[in-house]
Structure 1
Amino acid sequence: MKTFDVPVVYRSPLISAIKKKRKEADRMKKDFAPTLLDFGPVRIYLARHFGFCYGVENAIDIAFRTVAENPGRRIFLLSEMIHNPQVNADLVAAGVRFLQDTKGKAIVPFEELTADDIVLIPAFGTTLAIEQRLNDIGIRTELYNTTCPFVEKVWNRSEGIAQKGYSIVIHGKPKHEETRATFSHASKDAPSVVVEDMKQTIELAKYIRGEKDAAQFYTEFAGQYSQGFDLLRDLQRIGVVNQTTMLASDTQAIADYLKEVMIEKYGLTEANAREHFADTRDTLCYATNDNQTAVSGMLGVDADLAIVVGGYNSSNTSHLVELCEEKLPTYFINEEAKLLSKDTVLHYNFHNGTENVTEGYLPAKQPATILITSGASCPDALVEGIIRRLLTFYPGSKTVEEVTAQFA
């Protein structure tokens, strides 16, 4: 797989050594057991897979190379490069400016742009309308497009099933940049509708079965269907794709459910289900799958708590938190400073969008056992920083360097 030039500040000697050792021992990636770091008074289990993925490293490489190769030129990011505050802050510090926030609200009006400006398309991709608008100004978006190849894979899959006469159901968060981009590309080729979760999927199925008044659909799914969407015509043949960072189990459940709905409505069997339901296979990226499976493997350890590291607006990270929360106390943080002390942690509740203080989060007993993972847009250096911070709460611990040596 291609390698990228990522700033060394994002790397971690400890985690690089661990990942190298694990890769050498398991090149086919069949072992999802976590890695034990035994520091004595505290035992830390790292998920088998976590941190920067291919698409994120690709985006960071392009972005920083663009800055280095274009001194004096104005460089803009369409929106956040990835959902990590440190990386975005570093790009701003390098002189890059944001055109929009993550919800698409203008920060710098497009009218201020000129053909001499550079606009970086983020890893999530963008809508066809925005791309055309930039091209009309004379900005060559293809030169500075960091769209993740696995997002583009979803677009290609959508185009393929559209050509076979299917409408497209997108499992994703309607306001997320990636889902907005995928919806734009999908609806170019076929009628498309977004479902956020199984609850919305069940309501969509009621329209397919004719159990709800068709007129209600256009209110209930406002902003989530393509222009000219005809409920009675466009839900007869469907295929499911997804935002690449959703929970794999959720997407599979939605696809399985809608397939059964179509089989039931049209009197089909598994053998001829494709007459009304496309065989799309899973469109999650490899890193999302690996990271989620690695968390499941990590949760087999009898531990006291889990720490998940990443940007608070990171979809893939929030799903890792969701998996951990089912098993044990979980703290979602974006930097080591959130570990205020041995007794107090400031952590994020993604369910309601608030930061909360929890006292007594670390167990009194020793050795304490802590699980750690991070999202696909989180630098390994942040994870090492959190490990070092935890060690300060446990006098007599081995040093990070001593443990790193074990993986040399």
Structure 2
Amino acid sequence: MKTFNVPVIYRSPLISAIKQRRKQQDKMKKDFSPTELDFGPVRFLLARHFGFCYGVENAIEIAFKTVDENEGKRIFLLSEMIHNPQVNHDLQSRGVEFIMDTSGKQLIPWEDLKPEDVVIIPAFGTTLEIEAKLQSIGIQPLQYNTTCPFVERVWNKAEQIAGKNYSVIVHGKPKHEETRATFSHSQSNTPTVVVKDMSEAQQLAKFIHGTLPKEDFYSMFKGQYSEGFDVEKDLQRVGVVNQTTMLASETQAIADYIKQAMQDKYQLNETNISDRFADTRDTLCYATNDNQSAVTGMLEEAADLAIVVGGYNSSNTSHLVELCEEKLPTYFISSADKIDNKNEITHYDFHHHQELYTQNFLPNKETVNILLTSGASCPDAIVEGVIRKILSFYGMENAADELAAHM
């Protein structure tokens, strides 16, 4: 796989050595057991896969190169490039300004932009409407494009099945930048509706079966369907694509549920289901799959707690937290700074969108076992910082250096 020129401040000699060793031992990526870092009084079980994915590294390389090559110009990002506060702050510190926030709220009016300005499209991609807006200003919208190739693959799949007269169901968070972009691209080719979870998929299936009055669809899915969507006509042939950072197992479950609804409605079987349901399994992102599978493998080990590191508005990170929460106490933090001391931690409750303060999060026992992972937009250097911070509570500040030297 291609390697990228990512600023060294995001790299970790320790984590890089661990990942390289695991890669050599497991070239086919079939072993999802964690890496054990045993420091005596504290033992870390590090997920097999975590941290920067291909799309994130690609975006970072393009963004920083764009800044370096356009000295003296005004440089803008449509919104956060990725959902990591350090990376976004680093770009802002170099003069990059955000045109919108992550919800799409305008921070800089379009009228303030000039044809000579540089505008970077974030890794989530953007809508066709925004591309047209930039074009009308005189800015080439795709000149500085960091859209993840795996997001573009979803768009291509939606266009491909649209050409075969399928409507598209997008599994994603309706307000997320990536889902808004995917919805825009899909609806330009075919009727499209967004479902955020299995509950909404089950409701949609009732419209497929005709057990709910079609008028209810327009209130139930308000703001989540394309203009002119016809419930009776546009749910007769469908395919499911996804926001790439969703829980892969949930996307598959939703696709299977809709597929079964089509089978039941039209009395189909595996030999002719394609008459009504498109196979779109290849839209699941490899990194989302790998990171979630690695957490599942990690959770098979006995541990006292889990720490998940990443941006609080990171969708893929929140799903790792969800998986961990099912098994043991889980602390979602953005950096080592959130660990105040051996007894106190400030962590994020993404269910209620608030930070919490917890005391005595590290148990008082001979060996504390910690599961550790991070989201796809989190630099490895931050994960190493968490390891070092916790080691310092046991007077082992230099143990990470010693381990890296012997990897």
Common topology (TM > 0.5): yes
Q: What is residue 256 of structure 1 aligned with on the other side?
A: 256
Letter in 2 for 1:19: K
Determine if contact 1:154/1:283 at 8 Å carries over to the other structure: yes
Q: What is residue 237 of structure 1 aligned with on the other side?
A: 237
Q: What is residue 225 of structure 2 aligned with on the other side?
A: 225
Q: Distance in 2 between matches of 1:249 and 1:142?
A: 33
Q: Deviations over 1:191-245 (max 9, x none)?
A: 0000000000111111111111111111110100001101100000000000000
Report percent identity of matched pairs. 66
Q: Aligned with 1:169: secondary structure?
A: strand
Q: Aligned with 1:189: secondary structure?
A: coil
Q: What is residue 67 of structure 2 aligned with on the other side?
A: 67
Q: Aligned with 1:119: secondary structure?
A: strand
Q: What is residue 347 of structure 1 aligned with on the other side?
A: 347
Corresponding position: 1:191 with 2:191: yes
Q: Distance in 2 between matches of 1:235 and 1:275?
A: 13
Q: Aligned with 1:402: secondary structure?
A: helix
Deviation at 1:406, TM superposition (A): 3.0
Q: Distance in 2 between matches of 1:133 and 1:10?
A: 34
Determine if contact 1:38/1:44 at 8 Å carries over to the other structure: yes
Q: Distance in 2 between matches of 1:366 and 1:96?
A: 48
Q: Deviations over 1:94-124 (max 9, x none)?
A: 0000000001111000111111000000000
Determine if contact 1:123/1:147 at 8 Å carries over to the other structure: yes
Corresponding position: 1:15 with 2:15: yes
Q: What is residue 267 of structure 1 aligned with on the other side?
A: 267
Q: Aligned with 1:170: secondary structure?
A: strand
Corresponding position: 1:205 with 2:230: no
Q: What is residue 247 of structure 1 aligned with on the other side?
A: 247
TM-score, normalised by the number of residues in structure 2:
0.99
Q: Which moved more, 1:210-219 or 1:75-84?
A: 210-219
Matches within 5 A, 1:66-145: 66-145=66-145
Letter in 1 for 2:50: F
Q: What is residue 146 of structure 1 aligned with on the other side?
A: 146
Q: Aligned with 1:204: secondary structure?
A: helix
Determine if contact 2:388/2:397 at 8 Å carries over to the other structure: no
Q: What is residue 58 of structure 2 aligned with on the other side?
A: 58
Letter in 1 for 2:35: T
Determine if contact 1:49/1:294 at 8 Å carries over to the other structure: yes
Q: Distance in 1 between matches of 2:5 and 2:109?
A: 32
Aligned length: 407
Q: What is residue 285 of structure 1 aligned with on the other side?
A: 285
Q: Aligned with 2:23: secondary structure?
A: helix
Matches within 5 A, 1:26-41: 26-41=26-41
Q: What is residue 160 of structure 1 aligned with on the other side?
A: 160
Q: What is residue 386 of structure 2 aligned with on the other side?
A: 386
Q: What is residue 216 of structure 2 aligned with on the other side?
A: 216
Q: What is residue 43 of structure 1 aligned with on the other side?
A: 43
Q: Deviations over 1:219-277 (max 9, x none)?
A: 11010000110110000000000000010110011011111111111111121111111
Following TM superposition, the consecutive aligned residue runs of length 4 or more in structure 1 with deviations greater than 2 angstroms are 395-398
Determine if contact 1:46/1:371 at 8 Å carries over to the other structure: yes
- In structure 2, the gaps of 5 or more residues are none
Q: Deviations over 1:345-368 (max 9, x none)?
A: 100001110100111110100211
Q: Deviations over 1:371-398 (max 9, x none)?
A: 1000000000000001000011113576
Q: Distance in 2 between matches of 1:296 and 1:187?
A: 35
Q: Deviations over 1:160-183 (max 9, x none)?
A: 111111000000000000000000
Letter in 2 for 1:176: H
Determine if contact 2:306/2:331 at 8 Å carries over to the other structure: yes
Determine if contact 1:170/1:243 at 8 Å carries over to the other structure: yes
Q: Distance in 2 between matches of 1:167 and 1:313?
A: 30
Q: What is residue 295 of structure 1 aligned with on the other side?
A: 295
Q: Aligned with 1:23: secondary structure?
A: helix
Q: Distance in 1 between matches of 2:366 and 2:60?
A: 40
Q: What is residue 405 of structure 2 aligned with on the other side?
A: 405
Q: Distance in 1 between matches of 2:398 and 2:92?
A: 37
Letter in 2 for 1:264: D
Letter in 2 for 1:272: N
- In structure 1, the gaps of 5 or more residues are none
Q: Distance in 2 between matches of 1:72 and 1:405?
A: 42
Corresponding position: 1:317 with 2:317: yes
